[in-house]
Structure 1
């Protein structure tokens, strides 16, 4: 093989490995976004429960239940 062919072959291999790494990083990024979304939903549901409890506890009770 001459130098030009070797360089071309080496460049193809590097590009292939970089494409593989990019695909892996994109997949990891998508997984992290899914985790963030699930955590946000869980946090929001907890706050909704707490807000309901606060509203119930702060509501003025009728005079016959005091």
Structure 2
């Protein structure tokens, strides 16, 4: 009988830096428009928002 091997968390997932998308969101900072990030499932929309939040926290003092 063949034994199944399972991947541990972190063995197969790597982060892809999406600097182009993050730069575009940063350019739109301060505009009155509503920004909507769309994409297929598991494409990194939440990670992109986390990167944007980290950018805001590191560059602006009054961000909670």
Which of structures 1 and 2 has the larger relative contact order (alpha carbons within 8 angstroms, sep 6+)?
2
What TM-score does the superposition give when structure 2 sets the normalisation length?
A: 0.31
TM-score under structure 1 normalisation? Answer: 0.30
Which is greater in Rg?
1
